[in-house]
Amino acid sequence: MGAASTPATRVENAYRQWRESKGKDGDVFLDLMADHCEMRSVLSPRKVDNDLADHRKSKAEAREYFQVLERDWEMIDFPQHRILADGDTVVWIGECHWRNRKTGRDVGSPKVDIWTFEDGKAVAFFEMFDSLAFAQTAGLI
């Protein structure tokens, strides 16, 4: 298996394409995922009434996440700082900067995403960012 096909390299390429598309091409992440990929966020669906907080359990449900993100938010920037990999676990470290389409407010936050791969496909994804700032920017609190 060459370096171009490692999970870390594939994740790095997906985030580069995501940034270049200004958040309009969620397919770059869906292409990494197995059909049964679990997608979770630091946002708790029990505490935040927002479609992005939903716990998703399939690639089809993950597609909804990217549709909601594009509907409700405009990407300003998404710089990468570092990628760490240990076997089938890849950690992306960077920042995200978005504008909420409803409120017109901007939010920037450090961001950490953890990807878990099996047999070359992502089976789990967990994202962490400043959830308080997100909720304030979206007008949820």
Taking residues 34-62, what's their average pLDDT?
A: 80
**Using one digit for the tens of pLDDT, what is the confidence trace for 52-95?**
767 889 999 999 989 989 999 999 999 999 999 999 999 999 99
- The domain segmentation of the chain, as residue ranges, is 3-137
User: What tens digit of pLDDT does each residue of 86-118 get?
Assistant: 999 999 999 999 999 999 999 999 999 999 999
Residue 47, pLDDT > 60, answer: no
Structure confidence at residue 73 (pLDDT): 95
Q: What is the mean pLDDT of residues 13-35?
A: 96
- Pairing status of strand 106-118 against strand 89-100: antiparallel
CA dist 127 → 2, 95, 102 (Å): 27, 12, 23
Helices and strands (H and E) in the chain: how many = 4, 6
At the top level of CATH, the class of 3-137 is: alpha beta
H or E element that contains 40: strand 33-41
| pLDDT at 48 exceeding the cut of 70 | no
DSSP 6: S
pLDDT class for 1, splitting at 50, 70, 90?
A: very low
If residue 113 lies in a helix (H) or strand (E), which one and from where to where?
strand 106-118
Amino acid at 110: P
Q: Tokens 């985030």 correspond to what residue?
A: 15
Q: Is the pLDDT higher at 2 or at 87?
A: 87
**Confidence (pLDDT) at 141:** 82
Bridge partners of 106, per DSSP, are 99
CA–CA distance, 127 with 129 (Å, rounded to integer): 7
